Structure 1
Amino acid sequence: MRVVYATDLSAASEAAIENETCLNCLGRIGVETFHLVTVIPSNVHAGMPGMNFEERRQRGLDRYRRVIEDAGFEVETHVVRGTPHRRINGIAEAVRADLTLVGSRGQSPLENRVIGSTARNLARTTVVPLVVNRVERADDDPEVLREHLFQRILYATDFSENAERAFDAFSYLRHATEEATLVHVESPKEPPAADTREELADLADTLEQWDIETETRVGQGDPADEILAVEDEVTPSTVLLGSRGQSRLRRLLLGSVSEEIVARAAGNVFLVPPPRTA
């Protein structure tokens, strides 16, 4: 597997990249090659006095390269200019990445707990499965909030086609997953589907056959609120869910539930988009 690892060379990014447990988790699911990417924003000009941005960023990536190579992975580096989420998506498509990973500061002090703009924009537009790796908000020496990326998974499903695609990620996540909680939220405005619990039980049976200890939950109410309430209760390493197809409006590329989970989750989020178009 090939992963695009996006970094802004901040202390938060360094904490994520240098965490041996996180690297081990990625190795266990089959990642062999890292594409380390840093983007110089378009409004930062190369001609600014005393500022050799490309060279400085390349030195930073080379430092990370040594850490990751020492952990047994192949590494390529990319220093590019442009809009960060667009360039990251472009590289992911160009190298046929299986996964994009971006570090994000944890919950902000704001009531709506907004995540960083690059992580948020990637969540809306990603072309490959995306992992948002939460890092605490300490200024000087932050640490990742939940080191074991895939040890405990909370999988949220509405039984849509893309939710099924997200569940298919267990085919490789299972090599690093020990526990799973499967959640479906029913609308209070509609009668509950008679076969919901049976469908969840079938998914649980699949995971149990892979020696993943599994429980199921059926909630009722606002889907994002219910999913986040379960996250708060069971403290998974990562919330796994699918996103809807793209809307005609660029600002509405995710289903509202997916976008809320990415913005408000306490831990990591693994978002699976619709398949690439030809």
Structure 2
Amino acid sequence: MTADGAEPEARGVEEFGGDGSSAVDGKTAVIATDLSSASESMIESETGLGCLRRIGVDRLHLVTVVPANVHSGMPGMGFQKRRKEALRRYRSRVEDAGFSVETHVVRGTPHRRINGIAGSVGADLVMVGSRGKSPLENRVIGSTARNLARTTVVPLLVDRIERGVDDPGTIRRHLFRRTLFATDFSENAERAFRSFEYLRHATEEVTLVHVESSKDDTSGGDGPEARLADLAERLDDWGLDARTEVRRGDPADEILAAEADHDPSTLLLGSRGRSRLRRLLLGSVSEDVVARAAGNVFLVPPPRTA
């Protein structure tokens, strides 16, 4: 039993990437799963796992949460046993892909337990699947992905999964190949931009987008075009080519419109933290994008100490 109340099962493996090279950064990722067929497609995607290896992830914690109102002793119910067996199958597949793995079956509120495990293992990344956008999901704030977007203290990757099909797969198999970075030039956005220091190993194309709104202070300083050009130069130093675009209007609407225009693998943006007031505000740009985006979203929050 671990300090977070989980029941870990682990087997160590040698740390090799898909090309036989050792992982560079030794990063740890938590992958949350509800053990559905959609979630299985996320965990067993060889392309997705390869993307994680390329950005330096070599340790995975597979987590599934049993709802607090479900008890293993209920007639016909064997949730925890079945979940442990499913996680063993996932673990074997992921270890074969070159990762060291621990599995956790925990009970409680999903986003709280996922955040707790991420903190206890010192995770660099949390990954969760989402069935994509629908009018209902946009209104239901209790969804795990959206609650994680509101409360996560480590970078969160929302991996979009197909809806309404018998055998769902991930919508964007390559997690970071084509990245759209949305920036308001804030400290939070700069922190998200620095993620390219490791994402660049799995990235080929970058689109830099800034949305001007009526609330922007346009007095003095360089304009958004010049500031985006500076970011593009920094990406060039990392060996990445970038295009830039300034849009005008509502930030969330325009970011999603840019996603539709450029069809990136992943949207990258920063969030503004997890204060109590912020958790009550449902209209933040980052949460809106997580709820409505067609593809993957990589959300970078302030650091744990903030």
2:215 equivalent to 1:199: no
**How big is the shift at 1:111?**
9.0
The aligned residue for residue 190 of structure 2 is 164
2:180 equivalent to 1:135: no
Please say if residues 151 and 279 of structure 2, whose CA atoms lie closer than 8 Å, have aligned partners that are also in contact: no
Q: Secondary structure at the match of 2:145?
A: helix
Which deviates the most, 256-265 or 239-248? 239-248
The aligned residue for residue 121 of structure 1 is 147
Counterpart pick for 1:92 among 118, 127, 131: 118
Please say if residues 108 and 137 of structure 1, whose CA atoms lie closer than 8 Å, have aligned partners that are also in contact: no
What pairs up with 1:35-46 in 2 under 5 angstroms? 35-46=61-72
CA–CA distance in structure 1, aligned partners of residues 75 and 215 of structure 2:
62
The aligned residue for residue 263 of structure 2 is 235
Q: Secondary structure at the match of 2:276?
A: coil
Q: 1:209-251 deviations in whole A, cap 9, x for unaligned?
A: 2222200111111011111111000000000000012233363
> Partner letter of residue 238 of structure 1?
T
CA–CA distance in structure 2, aligned partners of residues 103 and 241 of structure 1:
18
CA–CA distance in structure 2, aligned partners of residues 277 and 115 of structure 1:
26
Q: 1:132-190 deviations in whole A, cap 9, x for unaligned?
A: 00000134200110100000100001111111110010000000000000011111355
Flag structure 1 segments of 5+ consecutive residues without an equivalent: none
| Identical-pair percentage | 71
Please say if residues 107 and 113 of structure 1, whose CA atoms lie closer than 8 Å, have aligned partners that are also in contact: no
Which deviates the most, 121-130 or 195-204? 195-204
CA–CA distance in structure 2, aligned partners of residues 103 and 96 of structure 1:
21
Change (3 A) 1:136 1:206: same
Please say if residues 106 and 266 of structure 1, whose CA atoms lie closer than 8 Å, have aligned partners that are also in contact: yes
Please say if residues 132 and 292 of structure 2, whose CA atoms lie closer than 8 Å, have aligned partners that are also in contact: no
Q: Secondary structure at the match of 2:72?
A: coil
Please say if residues 100 and 130 of structure 1, whose CA atoms lie closer than 8 Å, have aligned partners that are also in contact: yes
The aligned residue for residue 82 of structure 1 is 108
Change (3 A) 1:87 1:224: same
2:252 equivalent to 1:252: no
Which deviates the most, 237-246 or 251-260? 251-260
How many matched pairs?
A: 278
The aligned residue for residue 148 of structure 1 is 174
Change (3 A) 1:48 1:129: same
Change (3 A) 1:112 1:90: closer
Please say if residues 115 and 263 of structure 1, whose CA atoms lie closer than 8 Å, have aligned partners that are also in contact: no
CA–CA distance in structure 2, aligned partners of residues 192 and 217 of structure 1:
17
> Partner letter of residue 269 of structure 1?
V
Q: Secondary structure at the match of 1:66?
A: helix
Which deviates the most, 24-33 or 190-199? 190-199
> Partner letter of residue 69 of structure 1?
E
Change (3 A) 1:114 1:43: closer
CA–CA distance in structure 2, aligned partners of residues 190 and 250 of structure 1:
20
